[in-house]
Chain A
């Protein structure tokens, strides 16, 4: 239940905000080391080609060039979780492929040297459509793929199968069955800071230091070590301030070990900074896919079954995009009550670029398809679209077919809130004549709220150090990527220990110092790092109480911590004094503690069943759009967002996550698309790839639902990904509500809207 708190629940400014607002924050681009060289990478000219020869002699002769590496020069392992990705290539398989790399005294010289490397190619026909790649006569795309043996087709990179319930029985019970195909595009993270890495190798002790923007430093350390055939503990990862993550930095990519290899060979530090064009071409994208979704409902509108078949364009190598089914299965199996579900997905090699993880991790795609199908089922049953959702909504104590256990559940409250606040029923009944037509769309989502146990541990470590002057240093395994995790941790410490904000430091950027953590993904940081910090504070309090009780000659009991003091009845003592007595009094101890928090979640079984998260987040959105039937342009007028966040920790920070998530979700719905022709990106710049700007952003009305889940710190749940997950679905439904035609692919461009309208008019 809700406990009254002093700090938690009240808006707090960003802990490190001042350095970010004054230009003092040091990002990867700002690092300069003595004798540092600049790296540049030569990439293939053709997405699919044999490399006959590489001649680096002219480049090596250029003044200022210190070293060049190609596949022949390095002894390394393949990367990616499927180990199907060579760091430097002997054969080009996609537009991104790295052929050679140069380290030189300046970036200009490095780029010039790249242009002087002569490569002879034998251009090959590529396969850019995953359906083509599945055909028997298609050529083998990735020579390291194990598809033939594992999945019966050489071009299948990965495959997932899930089911629960009796599909055939549920089909028989269904009054209506809706089958639709959805096509989801590649979009990119477009972090404001481009990808970057700085590497330094110390030949004397064999240690490698990487200044990297990774979101998962400890997994990254292991991956770099595997790639370079090094001991992980000889690799130190330091995270500078990270200029945007959103999932793009969850996997390690070739430029990172390449930079390390250059630094090792040159014997000097090397830095690689992507240009914006490189960032568009090279950074991982959201997973594109084709979803065939069949859903049923009985005569009352109760959902009966879902059958899902997905083909994902895996690209030439396998990155985390291939693993998006982990999240997608949850949505299909467990968003709304569903007695039976069958899910099959294939990730198919093509000569396109590979996809990675991106805020939402497959869930925006799954939710778009599912919430569109729900609208279609309501239409077929002549039911109200709000009513059909409320009828099937998830509930507290539900254990879903997949085994997710909703110990708290704000799904109904969130849905009812946006229905009411958007005046959903009123607007859809309004007359909608003339050129501009308005509509409202509803969509809900389910996402993990208490981490996701996809590795053997989903934990987070914390070390606390309280110094002789009463300052607290929080050394946390977790990561700050701008989302505000440092601020939340400081708030927790302020709440629990009564220490003022200016006496709290958060250290979280160095694998040689900080304790282990999985990384910043799955909306998990406040949840795991918050719980870990609370555990550590518990141990710290034990030390303080023991000493304070001894000093004041009182019982160990319930103490109050306030304004740097600890109090018990009429007794009080300054915390820094207690620390000094621990330190300088006998038996001379440091006031430091270590704590490791492991969530109560379970690793799923081979059938992908099990309670994978510490708790679950639910959200609904109602989005109002206006469609210009003359131009096809869709304008988002208003958004209503309600989300079960367990408990609000920092209202201002949470609102920021909502607004930012909505912006990316609206971009996914309406404007963003990477356009490829034969495997080559045609719009690698902000001019051709349209992010929302300040004038495009509608108001975001946010209504948090507080369910006080006991697994989360103060009852909270993870919140960061949810705001963009149902957005495209709600917008798609709103467009259909406005003009009576539905677009089954993203983005919903003006061109698609006009075409759909003209087809509808032809039918008349």
Chain B
């Protein structure tokens, strides 16, 4: 099937088989390797990307369903203007990155939640921040620094 969609600002026309996962389209066909395969069953969140403003597990999403939609991957946050997105900046500032295999997913989840809060004009409290990251597993950091980084992103909304 031929689908037309936008990824990281670029319009792509691609022939895909109906069963192709968005994760495989991104990694194997478009060679965007920043999105990570962690479990392929929607449990770990390492493959999180943003589709139409929402963070989704790309291993649980069919590529054909991106037709007419806009997809953002980790590469979409910093590649264009060569500077880090605020979410990436805060992750590094707060020491939230160790092995880094979960980081793309953590960043994309935080980015989507941050954009949502921004558009709604709300600043989530720490418990809401924790809840927003519940679908992303990390084995290195114990989450605290990731939560700290995300909180710092939301605090920036007001300044």
Which of A's residues lie within 8 Å of B, judged by CB?
A: 11, 13-14, 17-18, 20-27, 29-30, 189-194, 241-246, 275-276, 481-484, 652-653, 655-656, 658-664, 685-687, 691-695, 697, 699-700
Contacts and interface: CB of A to CB of B under 8 A. Distances in A.
Contacts of B97: 14, 17, 20-21
Nearest to B127: A695
B41 interface: yes
Contact of B98 (A276, A482, A691, A694): A482
Contacts of A275: 40
A192 B138 contact: yes
Contact of B73 (A23, A242, A693): A23
Nearest to A26: B33
Nearest 4 A/B pairs, CB to CB:
A23-B34, A482-B99, A20-B100, A243-B101
Contacts, number: 169
Contacts of A664: 139, 142
A23 B104 contact: yes
Given A22-B77, A192-B139, A697-B143, A11 B101 contact: no
Nearest to B32: A23
B44 interface: yes
Contact of A653 (B77, B95, B104): B95
Given A686-B39, A687-B43, A659 B33 contact: no
Contact of A686 (B41, B88, B91): B41
Contacts of A687: 41, 43
Contacts of B102: 192
Nearest to A650: B95
A21 B134 contact: no
B39 A660 contact: no
Contacts of B143: 659, 663, 692-694, 697
A651 B12 CA distance: 45
A663 B94 CA distance: 18
Nearest to A667: B139
Nearest to A11: B95
B78 interface: yes
Interface of B: 32-41, 43-44, 46, 73-75, 77-79, 84, 88, 91-95, 97-104, 107, 127, 130-131, 133-134, 136-147
Contacts of A245: 99
Contact of B43 (A11, A685, A694): A685
Contacts of B141: 656, 659-660, 663
A693 B144 CA distance: 10
Given A22-B34, A23-B33, A243 B136 contact: no
B98 A656 contact: yes
A274 to B, nearest CB: 11
A241 B104 CA distance: 14
Contact of A659 (B91, B101, B144): B144
B44 A21 contact: no
A521 to B, nearest CB: 16
Q: Is chain A's interface secondary structure helix, strand, loop, or mixed overall?
A: loop
B74 A23 contact: yes
B80 to A, nearest CB: 12
Contacts of B79: 22
Contacts of A652: 94-95
A242 B74 contact: no
Nearest to A275: B40
A241 B36 CA distance: 13
A655 B98 CA distance: 12
A190 B99 CA distance: 13
B21 to A, nearest CB: 12
Nearest to A700: B144
A658 B141 CA distance: 8
A29 B36 contact: yes
A653 B97 CA distance: 10
Contact of A22 (B40, B78, B145): B78
B142 A243 contact: no
Contacts of B35: 23
Given A27-B36, A30-B33, A192-B102, A244 B139 contact: yes
B36 A14 contact: no
B95 A685 contact: no
B99 A192 contact: yes
A192 B78 contact: no
A27 B101 contact: yes
Contact of A191 (B73, B130, B139, B144): B139
A13 B36 contact: no
Contacts of A663: 139, 141-143
Given A30-B33, A656-B98, A659-B145, A22 B139 contact: no
B75 A246 contact: no
A189 B139 CA distance: 8
B134 A694 contact: yes
Nearest to B77: A22
A349 B137 CA distance: 34
Contact of B84 (A22, A241, A660): A22
Contacts of B46: 192
Contact of B92 (A18, A193, A693): A18
A241 B145 CA distance: 21
Contacts of A484: 98
Given A656-B145, A660-B140, A276 B39 contact: yes
Nearest to A31: B33
Given A22-B84, A23-B74, A276-B41, 19 more contacts: A20-B97, A20-B100, A21-B88, A21-B91, A21-B107, A192-B38, A193-B36, A242-B99, A243-B100, A482-B140, A483-B98, A655-B145, A659-B145, A662-B142, A663-B143, A686-B39, A695-B127, A697-B130, A699-B144
Given A13-B95, A693-B137, A695-B131, A244 B44 contact: no
A243 B99 contact: yes
A694 B101 contact: no
B130 A691 contact: no
A21 B36 contact: no
A57 B121 CA distance: 64
Nearest to B88: A21
Given A17-B92, A18-B92, A276 B140 contact: no
A686 B92 contact: no
Given A22-B88, A27-B36, A686-B44, A241 B142 contact: no
Contacts of B37: 29, 194
A672 to B, nearest CB: 11
Contacts of A13: 92-93, 95
A685 B137 contact: no
B144 A697 contact: yes
A726 to B, nearest CB: 16
Given A189-B139, A193-B99, A660-B140, A24 B34 contact: yes
A660 B142 contact: yes
Nearest to A654: B95
Contacts of B146: 694
A658 to B, nearest CB: 8
Contact of A276 (B38, B77, B99, B101): B38
**Highest count of chain B CB atoms <10 Å: which of A244, A483, A662, A691:** A244
Contacts of B40: 275-276
Given A21-B107, A22-B75, A483-B98, A686 B137 contact: yes
B136 to A, nearest CB: 7
A440 B33 CA distance: 46
